[in-house]
Copies of this chain bind each other. A is one copy, B any other.
């Protein structure tokens, strides 16, 4: 079972009290990447030190700092000071398992969204949290899991196809969210495949561990819903024009993104319906199979009951039992039993019990 949340901090510490936040051990080394590009040029530096950022920063280009492993107190707080980020925001970054949200601060936007993704050829899903700080000319992103999540976007920057290098930093901010939602679709497609698979198994009658797998999908849907519902509000706020940092000509793209988030929510609801239908079908198919078996066995038993009774009759030791003396008694007994069997099978066949 995945954790739906972790304790947000030590009980009794209050938001903004950075000096009290537990300095957690790093699960893996924090990796800082620095990407700088404009329409003509680009520069990608992976795995740099925190102090190198200043010299690389260039006010005229689009600057993007990505920090992988946002648990690292020293680096995050140093960054916070350097770029004048409020302590509450720094703390939100340090603590994962936030709810997705967008916040407007004096001269920057802070955003949290859920990453849900999957590897192409495997069946497991990853959850992560993406924190974005969006200032004029600078985008800082943080995530926790040790995955190369943004590889495809970097490739797009390198190869300079599509809008990404041609548009400004607002577009990059948009593109990251679009990419996250794309991954929701990827996950939903996997779930769709799993459901198709579950549906086929029902017809073929091979269904090991059925309900556990359904239950896993259910939990994945809960995760998706947790990611997409707040996202709808976030994009709605952007569409309403609450944030001046986002260029007006980029806002039109959000209409598209909004549609996709709504569609995600719709599909999740449809999946829930489909799943409840599958569970009904499975339950009834299991009990059906079980009933068929029990019925068959009971009928076999029922056929033998009168036969055994007859054998019992002629096993009685009465002195005067005419059949026993009769030369064809034994044959007669077999005939009787054969006849009864035949009639019973006939009756059961007619009643469609067999």
Interface residues of A (CB under 8 A from B): 1, 3-9, 11-17, 19-20, 88, 92, 98-99, 101, 103, 152-153, 155-156, 161-164, 174-175, 178-179, 182-183, 185-186, 188-189, 192, 195-196, 199, 203, 211-212, 215, 218-219, 222, 226, 252-253, 255-257, 259-260, 262-263, 266-267, 270-271, 273-274, 277-281, 283-288, 290-291, 293-295, 297-302, 304-309, 311-330, 333, 353
Given known A188-B5, A318-B333, contact A222–B273 (CB-CB < 8 A): yes
Point out the residues of chain B lying under 8 angstroms from A222, CB to CB: 270, 273-274
Choose one: B12, B16, B291, B330; the contact of A321 (CB below 8 Å). B330
Q: Is the interface of A mostly helix, strand, loop or mixed?
A: helix
User: In the bound complex, do residue A293 and residue B293 qualify as a contact, i.e. CB atoms below 8 Å apart?
Assistant: no
Identical chains in the assembly? 5
Point out the residues of chain B lying under 8 angstroms from A15, CB to CB: 178, 253, 256-257
User: In the bound complex, do residue A19 and residue B300 qualify as a contact, i.e. CB atoms below 8 Å apart?
Assistant: no
Point out the residues of chain B lying under 8 angstroms from A313, CB to CB: 311
Instruction: Give the distance in Å from the alpha carbon of A90 to the alpha carbon of B182 in the complex.
Output: 19
Point out the residues of chain B lying under 8 angstroms from A326, CB to CB: 318-319
Given known A19-B161, A163-B16, A317-B316, contact A295–B301 (CB-CB < 8 A): no
